Structure 1
Amino acid sequence: MTSTDTTDRTALVTGASSGLGADIARDLAADHRVLLGGRDAARLGALAGELPGAEPWRVDLTAADDVAEATARIGRLDVLVHSAGVCELGSVADSDSGQWRRAFEANLFAVVDLTRALLPALRAAGGHVVLINSGAGLRANPGWGSYAASKFALRAFGDALRQEEPELRVTSVHPGRIDTPMQQAIVEHEGGAYDPGRFLAPATVARAVGNAVRTPADAHPTEIVLRPTGR
């Protein structure tokens, strides 16, 4: 099977209740049955109603028992997109250990645990893991320490997984700042005026993810970096 064969292909997208995750789900729904991961039942239900064949997959990714129960029902998985995450800003001096723990819990540990639980299903399909990382996973800026550290760690996880599971494809996506509700909260924290034209459109990043997933099987898209042009 090549990545353009779409019969009975299944994708699980976390963070699908809003923002980038929802747009990735919309893109993949063109040729996949999509499981919509998230915690907001109303938003997941509304998106499932919009996308033929999609269904909510309501799971708290930080709850080990919930993850174990939900993944046990998945015997084969072609695509796993990790889009859920958190971002809290603050200097090293001003951020407490709780902020750092929350960043690693959501942005790394939840990703590792879900991937490990789904490895048998991914192996059965010769599947593809997509990690939505960040420009902060390539460089750290002042005030972004806890977030960048978790994203650097996420990149290391992807690099290790790619080498340990040669039958899978593993793609790390490093977008610049995206026009999402999370971005609005970040700009508010920074004290600036929000101008969506400065940022990447979620649909643009979603298309890049879709292109990676649909890359023919003789190629392995390992890393994608996107920067906003401001146009």
Structure 2
Amino acid sequence: MATHVITGAGSGIGAAVARRLHERGDDLVIVARDAGRAREIAGRYPGAGTLVADLANPDRISWALGKQALPERVDSLLHIAGVVDLSPVAELRPPTWHAQLNTNLIAPAELTRLMLPQLRTVHGQVIFVNSGAGLSAHADWAAYAASKHGLKALADALRQEEHGNGVRVTSVYPGRTASPMQAKVHSQEGKEYRPEGLIDPESVATTILMALDLPRDAEVNDLTVRPGR
């Protein structure tokens, strides 16, 4: 039975992945920003473990996890949490940059560092749920796209570093997916949010499970998912 450490399991793609893994009998360890949120999300998945760490404050993640029992086995580390705040560069101030870089890039790097010993032991896998913005940047997306471009660089470097240790690394680049984050994006863009015109989170979850379940003689490096309608 595999054990998966997952961020962003509260909604959207993360919730779809967590539910699918739980339904097939895998063990989950939910990472959440505070104890109440951790209990609330884990309560949806009987038997799930929890880790409390605020991804918005990556400098404190090591300290926080040092006071908790880390799972002895980690078959996969799934980075699905993310934040977005659109603004033109001329109006972006440091707090907005820090918020997105911390949660979307630095926190995944730190969590990965802390989980690598367990991942190496079982030849596990790290999956970074990136974004189309991690491949190209557009007006008003500078801070978010920078964090996601950085996440691609993190994944590419980690893949080369850990290949000899048997750790697989996959980046997934979904297009616009129906989720609370996308509802916020549409609001900031002044557009009507119509989830039926976007990718279903279940479809992205299917691609993530495919990468996880791939036989060990192969590795999915980069996986782009785009709307089919």
TM-score when scaled to structure 2?
A: 0.91
How far apart are the structure 1 equivalents of 2:192 and 2:34?
Answer: 28
| Structure 1, unaligned runs of 5 or more | 1-6
- Aligned residues of 2:12 and 2:201 also touching (Cα < 8 A): yes
Q: Hey, what does 2:5 align to over in structure 1?
A: 12
Q: Hey, what does 1:131 align to over in structure 2?
A: 128
Aligned to 2:107, what secondary structure does the other structure show? helix
Deviation at 1:44, TM superposition (A): 4.3
Aligned length: 222
How far apart are the structure 1 equivalents of 2:77 and 2:42?
Answer: 17
How far apart are the structure 2 equivalents of 1:207 and 1:44?
Answer: 24
Q: Hey, what does 2:211 align to over in structure 1?
A: 212
How far apart are the structure 1 equivalents of 2:21 and 2:122?
Answer: 16
Q: How do 1:138-217 and structure 2 match up within 5 A?
A: 138-166=135-163, 167-217=166-216
- Aligned residues of 2:34 and 2:54 also touching (Cα < 8 A): no
- Aligned residues of 2:51 and 2:65 also touching (Cα < 8 A): no
Deviation at 1:122, TM superposition (A): 0.6
| Structure 2, unaligned runs of 5 or more | none
Deviation at 1:52, TM superposition (A): 4.0
Q: How do 1:1-231 and structure 2 match up within 5 A?
A: 7=1, 9-29=2-22, 30-39=24-33, 41=35, 44-61=38-55, 62=57, 63-64=60-61, 65-70=63-68, 73-166=70-163, 167-230=166-229
Report the more deviating stretch, 188-197 or 46-55: 46-55
RMSD over aligned Cα atoms: 1.6
- Aligned residues of 1:128 and 1:169 also touching (Cα < 8 A): yes
How far apart are the structure 1 equivalents of 2:147 and 2:203?
Answer: 24
How far apart are the structure 1 equivalents of 2:53 and 2:98?
Answer: 20
Q: Hey, what does 1:3 align to over in structure 2?
A: none
How far apart are the structure 2 equivalents of 1:18 and 1:40?
Answer: 16
- Aligned residues of 1:18 and 1:43 also touching (Cα < 8 A): no
- Aligned residues of 2:34 and 2:53 also touching (Cα < 8 A): no
The aligned amino acid for 1:108 is L
Deviation at 1:55, TM superposition (A): 2.8
1:18-53 Cα offsets, whole Å, 9 max, x none, are 222111111222142011111365554354343343
How far apart are the structure 1 equivalents of 2:150 and 2:41?
Answer: 31
TM-score when scaled to structure 1?
A: 0.90
Deviation at 1:125, TM superposition (A): 1.1
Q: Say if 1:114 and 1:171 are closer, same or farther in 2 by CA, change over 3 A.
A: same
1:71-122 Cα offsets, whole Å, 9 max, x none, are x522221000001111110111111122112111111100110100111011
The aligned amino acid for 2:104 is N
How far apart are the structure 2 equivalents of 1:50 and 1:92?
Answer: 40
